[in-house]
Structure 1
Amino acid sequence: MAVASKNIPAPDLVPVRRALLSVSDKVGLAAFARTLAASGVELVSTGGTSRAIAEAGLAVTDVADITGFPEIMDGRVKTLHPLVHGGLLGVRDDPGHTAAMETHGIRPFDLVVINLYPFEEVRFAGGDYPTTVENVDIGGPAMVRAAAKNHAYVAVLTEPADYARVLEALAGNAGGLPYRLRQELAAKAFARTAAYDAAISGWFAETLALDAPDYRAFGGRLAAEMRYGENPHQSAGFYRSGEKRHGVATARQVQGKQLSYNNINDTDAAFELAGEFDPARTAAVAIIKHANPCGVAEGADLKEAYLKALACDPVSAFGGIVALNRALDAEAAEEIVKTFTEVIIAPGANPEAEAVIAAKKNLRLLLTDGLPDPRAGGLAVKSVAGGLLVQSRDNAVIDDLDLKVVTRRAPDAREMADLRFAFRVAKHVKSNAIVYARDLATVGIGAGQMSRVDSSRIAARKALDAAEAKGLAEPLTKGSVVASDAFFPFADGLLAAVEAGATAVIQPGGSMRDDEVIAAADEHGIAMVVTGIRHFRH
C-alpha cells in the first residue's frame, strides 16, 4: 500500500548550516570543507574523512560524538543511528517531525557529502571474494538515499565533480541552495546508488554463474552527451559500464572531432573484429561500415593488411572505420589517410604515425593499450519494447572448435587457412552472413539479408565489382573459399557459392538437409568443413 503524502511544499532556498561528510574519494575534500567552514557551516564527519578534515586545520565533529556510540565492527556500524538518519529524513515543516526531533535531540543536516566504497574498482580489478564483499558499502547508500528522499530540505553530493557547482550556488544564494539544484542532486544520487547496486548484483550473478537471475540491473556513468543519436531527431548519451575491456569505451582519443553515436557503435564492431586476430601471429585490419565489415585482411604488416582489406570493397570503405590489431605505424597511416576515414582505432601508435594522422584534423584516432579478448565472457544487452534481452557474449573462437571435414575432398592447407579466416570474419557480419575469402583477405561480403542465397549473390556481386575496378577479367571469388554464419537450409545457397567460383565451404552444419547439401558439394568437387557452432548476429 502506497504511503500518503501530506503535501507540504518544499522551500525554494535552504540555508546550509550543518553538513555531514563521509567520503571514500578524498580528492578536493579539504578545499571544499574549508570553504564551507569559512561560510560558518558546521562540519560533521566520520572516521578517515574526519581525520582528513582535522588535518586540514578545520574544526570537525565526529559522528561518534553525536551518537554517543563508537564505530564498531571495522567501521561497518557507525552512521546507522536515529540521530544521523533523523537529521537526514526529518521534514522540517511537519509539526510531528519537528516535535520528534526536539524530543530526541535530533539536529538536521542541510548538506550531505558522501561517495561510496570503491566496489566497482575492486570488482573490475579482480579482487578476491572476501575483499570484494568487504567493499560493499551499506551506510553510505543508506545516507545518500535518505538525503535524496528528503531533498526538499537536504542537498546530497555523491562525487567531487559536484563540489564547484554547489559552492557556486551557495555563493550566489547567500549561503542557501535552491530547490531545483537539490532535485537534480537527488536524481543523480538515486542513479548513483542504482548503478552501484547494479554492479554488486551483476558481480554476484557472474561469480555464482547465474545465467538468468530473477532481477537484472545495469548501470553506467555518462562519458559523453551526444549531439544526437542514430538520427538527428534522436537524443543520445554514451555511458561507461566500468567493464575493463579494451575498446571504444576505454580508449584514449588522441585527436579528431567528438565521436558520434554511430561512430561509437561502428568502432566497437570494428575493434571487436580486430581482436579476433592474435597480433603475435599476424597483422590484421578490419574496415567497417554501418557495423558490418566491408573488408578484412591479414598481412605481413599493417600496410599490406590494410591494402588487401581495402581492395575488397573500396567504395564502401569511404567514410568507414579502420580497426587494427597492432600499433599503428607511419606506413599504414599514410595509406589509410588516402581514403576518407571517420575513425582509426588501434592498441597504440608510434609518434611518426600520429604525425601523419595529425594532418587530418577531423580524423579521430583512438588508442586502447590492448585488444579485446575474444574468449572473455560478459553480457550483451538489447532493449525491446517493455524489456531487455540479455545474453552472454559470443566468445566462441574458431581456433578452439573441433572442425570436421564432411565431404569426400578435404580442403588443402591454403583453403583451410582461408576457411578459418573467413569464419572468423563471418562471426562479425550481420545475419544472414556470407563471406568469401582468398589469401587471408575478404573478397566478397554479403550481410543482413533475409535469404542466405541473396547474401551469397550480393557478396559475389561485390567481388565482381572489385575485380572490374582493378581491370581483372575474373571475379575475386574465383578460387576463393566461403563461410556461412549458419547452416545452409537448402543446397541453393551452396550452389550460389559454387557458381561464384568458391572451392571450399565452412559452415556450422545442423540442417535437416545436411546430407543434401553435402551431396551437392561432393557433386561439384567442393570441400566442406563444419564447425558445430553458429554465429547469428542481428
Structure 2
Amino acid sequence: MIAAAPITRALLSVSDKTGVVDFARALASHGVELVSTGGTYKALVEGGLTVKEVSELTGFPEMMDGRVKTLHPKVHGGLLAIRNNAEHRAAMTVHDIAPIDLLVVNLYPFEATLARGGSFEDLIENIDIGGPAMIRAAAKNHDDVTVIVDVADYDEVLAELAENDGATTLAFRRRLAAKAYARTGAYDAAISNWFAGTLEIDTPAFRAIGGTLAEALRYGENPHQSAAFYVTPEKRFGVATAAQLQGKALSYNNLNDTDAAFECVAEFDPARSAAVVIVKHANPCGVAEAPTLAQAYEKALACDPVSAFGGIIAVNRELDADTASRIVEIFTEVIVAPAASAAAIAIISAKKNLRLLVTGGLPDPRAEGLTAKTLAGGLLVQGRDNAVVDDMTLKVVTRRAPSEQEMADMRFAFRVAKHVKSNAIVYAKDGATVGVGAGQMSRVDSARIAAAKATDAAKAAGLRETLTQGSVVASDAFFPFADGLEAAVAAGATAVIQPGGSQRDAEVIAAADAAGLAMVFTGTRHFRH
C-alpha cells in the first residue's frame, strides 16, 4: 500500500494568482523547494520568496511568447516518474531529472475571455497547452504527485501537510486527481463548443459538455435523487447569474421552475410593457403584460389563482414595492427579477423563506445556444428555440382577418405557448392568459383543460361569463383535426394562431370559417417536451 507522499518540490504556474504568494510561503515553511514560471515566478519573487525559474530547471528559456516553457522532459519526467520503480529512478539519475511532488496550475482564462466576448485571436491565445499537459501528467501519477487546479483547495492542502508532517495521503491525492481531470475536461469542452459554434458545425463528431459546480443541492426532483447545479461558460442572464438576496436554499425543482419562468418573461420587451409570469411545475399558469408590474401581476394571478399558490414569479422589470406587497399576500416559493428596489427588498424580507433572486438583466430570447437532454447511453443536443413571434410573418388563412386587438392577443398567446409543455393550448385576452392547457397526449384535451381552468377561475372571481369568452387561442403545433379548434370555439375563442402545416389544414380552416373565427398561421412550431 502506498504511504503518504512527502512534498519536497513544487511547481507553481497559475493564471489566477489569488492567494498564491501566501500559499507558496506556507509551502516554503515546510521546506518545499519552489519552482515557477513567468508571471507566477515574478509574483513569488516580489513576495520575498526564494524560487527557481523553470528555465533553470530545464536548461531552456521560455520561448515563442511563452507558448513553450514547461513542455520538457525535466518537467514531465519529474511529474510522471514512478518513485518506487527502479527503471524510472535510474532514468531520472541518468538524465538529471528531479522529482516534482506538487503541481499547482490553474489554466489560462479561456472561459472568462469567452464570456467577455474576446476576439478570435484573444481566445486562441487563451487556450492553455502546457497547463493541461502538466495537470494530466500529475493526475495520472497521483500515487506520488499531488495536483491542485483550484485556488479554493490551498487551505485544505496546507491542512493535509500539517496533519501528515509535510506529506499528503493517497486518498487525498486521488480526490484532487479526479478534480483535475474534470477541470481539464470542462476546459476542453468550452474550447471545442466555441470552435464548433464559430465554424457553424452543428453536429461535431464529438460533443463535450462541461460546467463548474455552483451549488451542491440537497436532492434532485425527488429526495432519493442526488443533484447539483453547474454553470457553463455561456453568458446568459438567469439563475446562473442570479444573486440570492434572501430566503432558504434553492432546490432542484426551484431552479428548474425559476429558469422556466424567467425565460418566458424574457419574451416580453420591458421597454414595451411590464410582464409577469407565474410558473408551477415548469409550466406557466398565469402570464400577463400591463403598464405596471403590479397590474400585470393581478392579471396573471387571475388566470389560475389555485395553481399560483406555491409558485415561481418572474418579472421583466425592476421589482417595485407595490408589486412586492401584492406578491407576499399569498405563499410564493421564488421571485426572480432583473433588479429589485430597496423598498421591494424590505417588503420581501418579512417573508424569511421567500427566495428573491436578482439576475442583473434579461436573457435574449433570440440568442443562439445549445440545450441538452440525457438519454440512456447518450445525449440529445439541439439549438435553443430562439424563434420569436415578432419576427414571424403571420399569414391570415380565414375569410375573416383578425382585429388589431385579436392580433395583439394572438402574438401574446403564442409567446406564452412557446414555454408551455406540449401539447400546449393557451387562451389569452387583453394581454393576459385566461386558460392554459399543458402536457396532454391529445391537443383537444389541452384545449378542454384550458377552458375548464378558465371556467374555474371565473367562478372563483364571481364572474358569470367564463374567462375564455371573446379570447384568442394559441396552439404550439398545428391542429391535426378540426376537433381541437372546435373545442376552442366551444370555449368562446374568436381567433386562432397556430403553425399550420397539417394535411388537414383545409378542414381546420373550413371549421374556423364556419364558426366565424379569424385564424393565422405562423409557419413555426414551438414543441416543448
Q: TM-score, normalised by structure 1?
A: 0.98
SS of residue paired to 1:534: coil
CA distance in 1, matches of 2:43, 2:116: 26
Aligned to 2:313: 322
CA distance in 1, matches of 2:82, 2:49: 30
Letter in 1 for 2:266: G
Of 403, 406, 420, which residue of structure 2 is paired with 1:412? 403
CA distance in 2, matches of 1:534, 1:294: 21
2:37 maps to 1:57: no
CA distance in 2, matches of 1:220, 1:503: 47
Aligned to 1:68: 59
Aligned to 1:481: 472
Q: CA deviation at 1:12?
A: 2.4
Aligned to 1:500: 491
2:381 maps to 1:386: no
CA distance in 1, matches of 2:227, 2:250: 12
Provide Cα deviations, 1:126-185, integer angstroms capped at 9, x if missing partner: 111111111000000000000000000000000210000000110111111011110000
SS of residue paired to 1:234: coil
Letter in 2 for 1:145: R
Letter in 1 for 2:322: E
What RMSD in Å do the two structures reach over aligned CA positions?
0.5
Provide Cα deviations, 1:178-199, integer angstroms capped at 9, x if missing partner: 1111000000000000000000
2:436 maps to 1:445: yes
SS of residue paired to 2:480: coil
2:213 maps to 1:245: no
How many residues matched?
529
Q: CA deviation at 1:300?
A: 1.0
CA distance in 1, matches of 2:146, 2:59: 25
2:512 maps to 1:530: no
Of 294, 297, 306, which residue of structure 2 is paired with 1:303? 294
SS of residue paired to 2:245: strand
CA distance in 2, matches of 1:416, 1:123: 40
CA distance in 1, matches of 2:145, 2:290: 62
Provide Cα deviations, 1:346-373, integer angstroms capped at 9, x if missing partner: 0000000000000000000000110010
Aligned to 2:449: 458
CA distance in 2, matches of 1:319, 1:12: 54
Of 419, 441, 445, which residue of structure 2 is paired with 1:428? 419
Letter in 2 for 1:54: V
Q: CA deviation at 1:339?
A: 1.0
- Where do 1:73-472 residues align within 5 Å? 73-472=64-463
Report if the CA contact (8 A) 2:241-2:360 is conserved: no
CA distance in 2, matches of 1:419, 1:177: 65
Letter in 2 for 1:178: T
CA distance in 1, matches of 2:176, 2:150: 10
CA distance in 1, matches of 2:397, 2:145: 71
SS of residue paired to 2:373: strand
CA distance in 2, matches of 1:250, 1:370: 9
Letter in 1 for 2:108: Y
SS of residue paired to 2:286: strand
CA distance in 1, matches of 2:461, 2:241: 39
CA distance in 2, matches of 1:171, 1:20: 19
Letter in 1 for 2:119: D
SS of residue paired to 2:218: coil
CA distance in 2, matches of 1:66, 1:357: 60
CA distance in 2, matches of 1:466, 1:448: 20
CA distance in 1, matches of 2:245, 2:201: 39
Report if the CA contact (8 A) 2:312-2:332 is conserved: yes
Report if the CA contact (8 A) 2:114-2:233 is conserved: no
Farther-moved stretch of structure 1 (55-64 vs 124-133): 124-133
CA distance in 2, matches of 1:471, 1:302: 24
Q: CA deviation at 1:472?
A: 1.1
Q: CA deviation at 1:242?
A: 2.3
CA distance in 2, matches of 1:102, 1:49: 28
CA distance in 1, matches of 2:230, 2:464: 49
Farther-moved stretch of structure 1 (33-42 vs 286-295): 33-42
Of 480, 502, 510, which residue of structure 2 is paired with 1:519? 510
Q: CA deviation at 1:474?
A: 1.3
Letter in 1 for 2:152: A
CA distance in 2, matches of 1:386, 1:355: 48
SS of residue paired to 1:117: coil
Q: TM-score, normalised by structure 2?
A: 1.00
2:24 maps to 1:33: yes
CA distance in 2, matches of 1:124, 1:385: 32
Task: Using the aligned pairs only, state the percent identity.
Answer: 69
SS of residue paired to 1:498: helix
Report if the CA contact (8 A) 2:257-2:280 is conserved: yes
- Listed as ranges, the gaps of 5+ residues in structure 1 are 1-8
SS of residue paired to 1:72: coil
CA distance in 1, matches of 2:213, 2:195: 24
SS of residue paired to 1:471: coil
Report if the CA contact (8 A) 2:115-2:233 is conserved: yes
Q: CA deviation at 1:405?
A: 0.4
SS of residue paired to 1:197: helix
CA distance in 2, matches of 1:370, 1:264: 17
CA distance in 2, matches of 1:48, 1:416: 61
Aligned to 1:4: none
Letter in 1 for 2:257: D
Provide Cα deviations, 1:315-360, integer angstroms capped at 9, x if missing partner: 0000000000000000000000011000000000000000000000
CA distance in 1, matches of 2:118, 2:248: 37
SS of residue paired to 1:474: coil
CA distance in 1, matches of 2:3, 2:498: 67
SS of residue paired to 1:218: coil
Aligned to 2:5: 14
CA distance in 2, matches of 1:391, 1:297: 29
CA distance in 2, matches of 1:131, 1:179: 39
SS of residue paired to 2:197: helix
Deviating above 6 A after TM superposition, structure 1's stretches of 4 or more consecutive aligned residues are none
Q: CA deviation at 1:66?
A: 1.2
SS of residue paired to 1:417: helix
Letter in 1 for 2:329: K
Q: CA deviation at 1:71?
A: 0.4
